[in-house]
Amino acid sequence: MKAAIQRLAAMGLAGLARAITGVRPIWQGCAPSGRQRIYFANHSSHGDFILLSSSLPPSERSRTRAVAGADYWRRNKVRHVLARDILNTVLVERNWVERSEDPMVIMLGALEQGSSLIFFPEGTRNMTEEPLLRFRSGLYNLAVARPDVELVPCWIENMSRVLPKGALLPVPLLCRVIFGAPVVLEEGEDRHVFLDRAREALLDLSPERQKALAHG
Amino acid sequence: MAETIWLFLGLLGVLTLASAIATLLSWKSRRTSDVLPSTLVNLNARIKAWWIMIAAISIAFLFGKGGVIFLFAFVSFAALREYVTLTHTRRGDHRILIGMFLVVIPVQYYLLWIEWYGLYSIFVPVYCFLAMPALTAISGDTERFLERVSEQQWGIMLSVYCISHVPALLTLAIPGFEGKGLLLIAFLIVTVQGSDVLQYVFGKLFGKRKVAPKISPSKTWEGLIGGIVSASLLGAALAWLTPFAPAEAGLMAALAAIMGFFGGLVASAIKRDRGVKDWGHMIEGHGGMLDRADSLIFAAPIFFHIVRYFWT
């Protein structure tokens, strides 16, 4: 029953996302595949993970769960039901001091069950003028714990304009999700070096960098 | 009614012929090489998209006035979405942008539906023109104010106001032509889009001297003149769809073709400024909705007002 509701909600949301944003996936650095993956993306809007999951082939969409902040999604009952039962998100507590469960345990648990993850390594929605914030350690920890899972950078274009923070209604604008080549953790690679490299790989997919590349 | 059937049979014939030629060309080219040249791939995609567009227009025509208004409200929505995607917007513009989609489009097409000429002809250029900068000013963000406001104005003028003048033809009371407004719309669409196709064909066959090499490498004098002349002949041949005499129909078609050319030129200039090749990807082979509608945007309001002035 729950699974049926989730599938229906996912289909409905994907349809809605496509009707509003005409979202198109651009598989630039890799192809859609049945491999277990962590899709890591830039984050500036609640619509981000809906857009990303709508860009995946339906079979992948149903096994891919978004990692979201428990402090936000558990703040009231409606949000909690939405996040847990309808959107099937993996809720992790971000606050170091007050948290009761280790986010790593929760995320590794979801990976253990065979899910792919949508992960926002900035840790929060980016509200600055900068294209991308510094990455937190989460991505590195996941890469160390599960070297068999592919880490795919995904640039989500325009979603911050479609549904900025605090806005209730989306503005219909065309969006794209650009999938880059998987980033692989090298043996003994330093945490900072890896996180910077992953961040650069994601930034390389942003329109500014793509334009610069196209013009040589 | 008989006219409508003849028109669609004619369109069906032209499209079938185009598909047959494209299939033949593809077949010939496949015999000599494994890879189809990109021009042919694009031609096939374009013809396929034309089948879908003609089907959409036919279905809208079956529903009459409501169907046509709904179809063009959708064209406005898709065009505005492509346009706004390419403009600078800031967080403070969010409400205005939503208003453009959720208020301006429905109100403009509702005014058309109730045939209130006095308001639908000034709603965007007067009321929205003043209301939108006022609301933007209230939001308090003055960064690139003039640029943002102007881009919004242009967006609704092109994508909503101008496009809405296609279904607006239904509201004209032309003596002796009552209840045949749909045919006038068909005439406008066929001559403008036909002129686009003919300019493309003449340009590909004979194109040498470029009209505006800095803006569009594909627009040539040979294509332009060949397109306008042949579109005028097409228009004259379609005079039976309209309240015009054959010579008048030819002149109206020439006017629509020339305006259509300028529409395409301006759209190319905007795209070049923003560093994109196409507005979007909605219509395979053609690009976005605006890539197909740019000529209609310029032709429709002028065509409308000339008909209104001389024939009503």
Q: Which of residues 127-166 of A touch B (CB under 8 A)?
A: 158, 161, 164
Q: Which two tokens stand for residue A215?
A: 């013009």
CB contact under 8 A, B280 and A173: no
Burial (CB < 10 A; 0-12, 13-18, 19+), residue B100, is buried
CB contact under 8 A, A169 and B97: no
Distance from C-alpha of B220 to C-alpha of B213, rounded to nearest angstrom = 9
Residue B40 CA, chain-centre distance (Å), reads 24
Q: Which two tokens stand for residue A178?
A: 């650009």
Q: Which of residues 217-276 of B touch A (CB under 8 A)?
A: 275
Give the CATH number for residue A48: 3.40.1130.10
Q: Which two tokens stand for residue A88?
A: 């099937």
Beta strands in chain B (DSSP E): none
The letter for the amino acid at B237 is: A
The letter for the amino acid at B241 is: L
CB contact under 8 A, A22 and B282: yes
Under DSSP, the state recorded for A65 is E
Nearest CA-CA distance, residue B242 and chain A, Å? 37
CB contact under 8 A, A173 and B85: yes
Condensed to tens digits (0 to 9), the pLDDT of residues B244-266 reads 999 999 999 999 999 999 999 99
Where residue A207 falls among pLDDT bands split at 50, 70, 90?
confident
Cβ contact B176:B184 at 8 Å: no
Condensed to tens digits (0 to 9), the pLDDT of residues B102-159 reads 999 999 999 999 999 999 999 999 999 999 999 999 988 888 999 999 999 999 999 9
Distance from C-alpha of B81 to C-alpha of B85, rounded to nearest angstrom = 6
What is the DSSP secondary-structure string of B268-288? HHHHHHHT-S-S-SSBTTTBS
Distance from C-alpha of A28 to C-alpha of A180, rounded to nearest angstrom = 5
Beta-carbon count within 10 A of B246 CB: 14
* Residue in this structure with the two tokens 């409606």, named with its chain if needed: A78
Q: Which one of A24, A171, A211 has the shortest CB-CB distance to B94? A: A171
Residue ranges making up the domain that contains A46: 2-214
Condensed to tens digits (0 to 9), the pLDDT of residues A164-183 reads 888 889 999 999 999 999 99
Question: Please, what sign has the CA dihedral across residues B213, B214, B218, B224?
Answer: negative
pLDDT at position A81, please? 87
Distance from C-alpha of B49 to C-alpha of B140, rounded to nearest angstrom = 44
Calculate the alpha carbon distances from A75 to A70, A118, A126 in Å: 8, 21, 20
**pLDDT, tens digit only, all 312 positions of chain B:** 688 889 889 999 999 999 999 999 988 888 887 788 888 888 899 999 999 999 999 999 999 999 999 999 999 999 999 999 999 888 889 999 999 999 999 999 999 999 999 999 999 999 999 999 999 999 888 889 999 999 999 999 999 999 999 999 999 999 989 889 999 999 999 999 999 999 999 998 998 899 888 888 888 999 999 999 999 999 999 999 999 999 999 999 999 999 999 999 999 999 999 888 889 888 888 889 999 999 999 999 999 999 999 998
Structure ipTM: 0.87
Number of domains comprising chain A: 1
